[in-house]
Each structure stands twice: as structure tokens, then as C-alpha cells.
Amino acid sequence: MRVLITGIKGQLGQALHARLPDANGLSLPETDVTDRVAVGQAIAGLRPQVVIHCAAFTDVDGSARDPARAYRVNGLGTQNVALAAEACGAALAYISSNEVFDGTKTAPYFEFDQPNPINPYGRSKLAGEWYASHLCSRFYIIRTAWLYRYGGRNFIHAIQRSVDTHGRLRVVTDETATPTWVEDLADALLKLIQTGRCGLYHLTNAGYCSRFDFARKILELTGRSGIPIEPITRAEYPRPSRPPRFTALANTAAAALGIILRPWEEALEDFLQNP
């Protein structure tokens, strides 16, 4: 299978490329997904059978500061990739986000719950979903959450740096989702594509936790249990973006195909103990 990965230098892109060393890739600065002509020519020249579209503007607070940029990359950039994939007969796998939901539920969101993003990042990712589903005859939309990988910009590394610098933490208790190790996500995503069962999927590690519980688990697993950690609310931690309160995702569609990711606690322990 000829695979092309956009954003191949990012966290998920690198994990996928490690599993698909023969895959072609597009990434900045060589190819910008917002450049319609460059994207069209690159994909047409490579003629992939599957395009895995990981490239995105993932800075949630940056999206709040510059919504136009978020929409240009995550929305219109996806339009460019979707049209180019369709033109060469490739299926498109678009990586979306838990932040397409508003966070008002108290139980995990199913694949067909109605999206209602409350911040510019979520709205830009939902725009990407629209383009993927309306412009491609064969598509996978994969929503995921709270990704982390060795060396990447993520919550785990930020918590460890903060503790080592300040010796204490203040972490919000009222933002809940599922930490997801990109190594587990990459395995699940490739299994999904191999089934040929196009559609809408939620792929995260199993279970969910608050940011506070996530941080506390990180401290426990890294021998820092004695570090003071203060629970606070989102209102006490002002930031440019307003994150949804509860956006855990239920994996029902992929589970029906036998694709189930392990609990987030097990993945986190594996990640921290096997650097």
C-alpha cells in the first residue's frame, strides 16, 4: 500500500513513519498544506493509495490568539489535501480532536454525538472534518485526545519541567479527557486503515481522567509523589483558549472491528518506564 503522511515530522507522523519506513511524507518547511498548488502537485506526483493527514496547527492557545491561522491550516489546509487525495483516488485519514465537542456531557462522547466546539481550535478541526467527509469518497475521521510522545511538546514533559523548576504544581481539576500515547494510536490507526472500513472513529487509550489526576499519576510513576500539587479550577488558570470541561471519547466504532486501545494508566507507565 502506498501511503503518504502529512505532518510527518510531528508526534504522530514520526510514530507512523517508524512503522511505515517506505511511506512518503509532506511537512514544513518543504510543503505547506495551505499552499494549494504545492499540495496538489506533491500528492499527484506521488499517487498514494492512502493519505494520512496529520499536519495541523495544534497550538490550542495559539488558535485562540489567531483564529484565522487555525482555520487556514486546519480547515482550508485539509480542503487542499482532501481535494488532492480525491483527485488521485486515495482514501483520506484525517486526524481530528476531542475538542470538536462542547464538554457538557458527563459520560464519554460517542462518534455520532453532535459536535459543538466552543473554541477556535475545535471549530477549525471540525471544519477539517467537514472537508474530509464532503470532498472525499473514501475517508476516515479519527478523533483523539491529549497526545504525547518522547521528545514532543506535551503535558507530561511540561509537568516534569515545572516540578523540577518550581518544586510544586497547580493543576486544574475540571478539564477531563484521555491521555493517549501516540505509539498506541499509530498501531490502532494502521489496523483501522487495513480494514478498509471507512467512517468516523474515536481512538484514544481507554478510560479518562482530569488534568489534576493525570499530573498526580505522572508524579507517582516518576518517584515524585511527595511534590505538593494544588487542585484548581479552569477559572483560576486563565489562558487564551477556553477548553471544554469533559471530552472523554467512547470507542464504539473501532471496538466493533476489534480495535481497542489499552487503559491510559498502562500506556503512561510504559511510556515513563521505557524511555
What residues are labeled active site? Answer: 121
Task: Give how far Cα 155 sits from Cα of 142, 144, 167, 178, 232, Å.
Answer: 21, 15, 17, 12, 16
Task: Please state, in angstroms and rounded to a whole number, the distance separating the CA atoms of residues 99 and 62.
Answer: 15
**Helix (H/G/I), strand (E/B), else coil: 202:** strand
Task: Please state, in angstroms and rounded to a whole number, the distance separating the CA atoms of residues 50 and 3.
Answer: 5
Task: Please state, in angstroms and rounded to a whole number, the distance separating the CA atoms of residues 185 and 199.
Answer: 17
221, 204, 110, 209 alpha-carbon torsion, rounded to 10°: 10
- Determine the distance from the C-alpha atom of residue 7 to the mean position of all C-alpha atoms in its chain, rounded to a whole number: 12
Task: Give how far Cα 124 sits from Cα of 9, 10, 73, Å.
Answer: 21, 19, 8
Amino acid at 96: S
Q: In 66-115, where does DSSP find H-type helix?
A: 67-70, 77-87
Q: Return the axis-axis angle of helices 211-221 and 155-166, rounded to nearest 10°.
A: 70
How far from each other are the two terminal CA atoms of the chain, in whole angstroms?
31
Q: How many residues does the chain have?
A: 275
Q: Residues 189, 203: contact at Cβ < 8 Å? A: yes
Nearest to 146 by CA among 89, 197, 204: 204
